[in-house]
Structure 1
Amino acid sequence: MEQYEPDRLTAAQVAAVRRSFRNGRAALTRRSLLRASAGGALAAGALGGLSGCGIPAAGKAQGGVSAEDRSAEEKTVSFSNWTEYMDVDDSGKRHPTLEAFTRRTGIKVKYTEDINDNNEFFGKIKPQLAAGQDTGRDLICVTDWLAGRLIRLGWVQKLDPANLPHAFANLSSQFRSPDWDPGRAYSYPWQGISTVIAYNKKALDGVEVTSVSDLLDNPKLKGRVGFLTEMRDTVGMTLLDMGKDPGKFGDDDYDAAIARLQKAVDRGQIRRFTGNDYTSDLTKGDFAACLAWAGDVVQLKADSPDVDFLIPDSGYLTSSDNLLVPNKARHKTNAERLIDYYFEPKAAAELAAYINYVCPVDGVKDELAKIDEDAANNPLILPDRAMQAKSRAFRSLSSKEETAYEAKFAKLTGA
């Protein structure tokens, strides 16, 4: 078995990693590539291709399939994650939380940063899972819509609550029961991803912004507004502004949201739809205000006094990246122990201090304050109960809905 051996980065490399977060590179890897190119290629290609490859369509779950769990005799676990999604300490040591886990448990972690895009990663693991074979991975981290698909297909294993006492006790209420995994039987969140309104105070020049309606309708912002190329974020925030719940909407609601956005496009109100590159437009002032991902805003605020954010009274959208154990994984118990470890406040705080996304673990504030007091008081990292109450999730889509909705959104954005 391959052994996890922590290594160190040079000071210059640490600085480069920090810059990558400030410039949004890490968020670009995880967020802007969630949506396939050519508007709806994901829905029409990846989803449509399931049955064509002899793979059951989503919704025909066969139930998770376990293998003989060799955790007791093989003290190892193989963990696939996104790039730059694990802690690095100030001295440049890579992944000190993983090293601490190994010291405590004797379980060596084979940690691989081999997820660059959800759709691409699904293509990697699909042949083995469809054939009922081991993927060589004990733990994977994918975004909520793909996690839901894997669960529906029956390609991930049900987790054993006995091995997850900290996860069960400390999981934040806003992440407890997504519609694609009610009660978190198959998954636990790694990090949350919030969509908010960001603005440049200097570019606004006194213009008040409090809602998505202001972005869409205020003539003083014409040509200086940005929305996201991620359909769920842009449409979800628009639905909320219209008084609709993104977790319960129907076709008519979706079409009304698209029509509202189309009017803003036709009037030239929306400058453009962007991926993570909105960060440059916002800091330069080309965008006076835009939809943005909270992980970026934390770093942008640290670098630019003009950048700030707001949570509309109508609410905001939250999605998540999630930990799951694939079928036939050889070290399920070890994987569950690793999941549970990251729901201990100390480990969760060390991770949150580096990543700056929404921490899904309750009770970490005191531990995080020991590392970074500003981060501990930042509602974009640790939302308080009032902010959590405004959080909404975009509901799961059927294959038919995803194909239709992505096509309409692609027409809107000109993708």
Structure 2
Amino acid sequence: MSRRSLLRGLGGAGAVTLLAGCGVPSAYVEKGERAGPDLSGRDRSLDFANWPLYIDTDDEDTTRRPSLDAFRERTGISVRYTEEINDNDEFFGKISPALMNRQETGRDLIVVSDWMAARFVHLGWVQEMDRGAQPNVTRHLDPQLRRPAFDPGRLHSVPWQSGITGIAYNRRRLGRELRSTKDLWADDLRGKVTLLSGLDEAIGLLMQGNGVDVTRWTGDDFHALCEQVEGLVAERHIRRFTGNDYIKDLSTGDVLACQAYSGDVIQLQADNPDIEFVVPEEGGELWAESLLIPNLARHKANAEQLVDHYYQPEVAAELAAWVNYVCPVPAAQDVLADSGDEELAALAEDPLIFPDAAMRGRLAIGRDITSQERPDFAKRWNSIVGL
């Protein structure tokens, strides 16, 4: 099971999530209240919370993480690394009481999906990073990821990894190619298609299939999509809505085509070369999961150094070779290509890790769902998918 496949869309974070999603004013933290005493100078450590299976590990000792070890050896800063994030909303619910009450969370660096990062940024719950201390980020961050709508200029966030939502299918079992999102609705795929259950994960690709510009989609576009999906559910064309389950369904042949994440498919292909991933002709959605420094973090400067460490092309290449998602450091491609290792050189040529110009031209970053839109949109989407 890959890291991204653990993602669930709208989980049960309860009243705290609803409160923040509605943008309750008292939850907002003013800029002057976000920073606390930084102990980085005398305490050479930091706490880093991440998702499972989302960092390189040693082949012989899986408790060791070579890229973190290299950081400690170079800087003298030790990292307390925890794999505690299994769901965006669940993690939000875990740390939001502290942030809402102007208390520190015990974490200096976290990784969440950009749609959740938008929530943190809009609530004023994360700090701006000092780009003067991050020359590698400034120099090497992928230009296509530099200007998310939720964080202009990427002042508060830095992508950890990126990826593509597209279509995966079993070409041998299906007996033909799929090129378009509309191809999912062909008669011979009735009952053999799954879609992602999460609102933020699912709607971008489906809207693109309807010719919508996802950088500026409207409420009418959303409701038109919902009507379309409701009809497909009524016709039993869609087998079900999934989180990580689609990997198993696709592997066993229970489904022939599905919405999928690029990194998952690379890993599936290692065991089943019949599995294909396609960025549809109408476009695919480019997303990122980003590093954030929560308010009152006690080791902000140390955290900023760690972020910059992962933007060295050599370190980014090491991480990309392990996780197989879209690398946010394009310069890492040359590192892998020149490695002298046949397998690593092959990864450098994989457009699902380093998208070429043709693929990039079909990728778009969807606009965020606003706090005003989310309650109604989530209610309608969840009623369709059964959440």
Q: TM tier, shorter chain?
A: over 0.9
Task: Give 2:123's aligned amino acid.
Answer: L
Q: When the two structures are aligned, how many residues end up with a matched partner?
A: 381
1:71 paired residue number = 40
In the other structure, the counterpart of 2:358 is 386
Deviation for aligned residue 1:51 = 9.2
Matched, 1:86 2:55: yes
Per mean C-alpha deviation after superposition, the further-off stretch among 95-104 and 71-80 is 71-80
Question: 2:10 maps to which residue?
Answer: 35
The alignment status of 1:377 with 2:322, answered yes or no, reads: no
Do 1:47 and 1:399's aligned partners in 2 also have CA atoms closer than 8 Å?
Answer: no
Contact 2:71 2:306 in 1 (8 A): yes
Identify the residue that residue 159 of structure 1 maps to in structure 2. 129
Partner of residue 289, structure 1: 257
Paired residues for 1:88-237 under 5 Å: 88-92=57-61, 94-206=64-176, 208-216=177-185, 218-237=186-205
* Range moving further from structure 2, 219-228 or 177-186: 219-228
Q: What residue is the counterpart of 1:247 in the other structure?
A: 215
Over 3 Å counting, the alpha-carbon distance change for 1:55 and 1:129 in structure 2 is: farther
1:36-65 CA-to-partner distances (Å, cap 9, x unmatched) read: 1xxxx56x84443349998735xx552261
Instruction: State the Cα distance separating 1:193 from its structure 2 match.
Output: 2.8
- Residues 236 and 53 from structure 1, CA distance in 2 versus in 1: closer, same or farther, beyond 3 angstroms? closer
Question: Could you state the TM-score of these two structures normalised by the residue count of structure 1?
Answer: 0.87
- Contact 1:56–1:153, Cα closer than 8 Å, also in 2: no
Deviation string 1:262-284 (CA, Å, 9 cap, x unpaired) is 22222222222111111122122
Pairing 1:242-391 to 2, within 5 Å after superposition: 242-369=210-337, 370=339, 372-391=344-363
TM-score by length of structure 2 reads: 0.93
Deviation at 1:191, TM superposition (A): 0.8
Residue number in structure 2 paired with 1:9: none
Q: Is the 8 A contact 2:193 2:258 kept in 1?
A: yes
Q: CA separation in 2, counterparts of 1:139 and 1:193? A: 21
What per-residue deviation string (whole Å, max 9, x for no partner) do you get for residues 110-152 of structure 1? 1122222222222222222122222221111111122111111
Structure 1 residues 119 and 320, CA gap change in structure 2 (3 angstroms) = same
CA displacement, residues 53-110 of structure 1 (integer Å, 9 cap, x when unaligned) = 98735xx552261122222222112111112211113333521100101111111111
For 2:192 and 2:308, locate their aligned partners in 1 and report how far apart those are by CA, in whole Å.
44
The CA distance in 1 between the partners of 2:170 and 2:231, in whole Å, is: 24
- In structure 2, what residue type is equivalent to 1:210? R
Q: Which amino acid aligns with 2:95?
A: I
Cα shift readout 1:365-409 (whole Å, capped 9, x = no counterpart): 122242522222211111123222322223222223111111111
Identity of aligned pairs, percent?
Answer: 41
**Mapped partners of 1:359, 1:267: distance in 2:** 39
CA RMSD of aligned residues (A): 2.1
Q: Secondary structure at the match of 1:368?
A: helix
Aligned residue for 1:10?
none
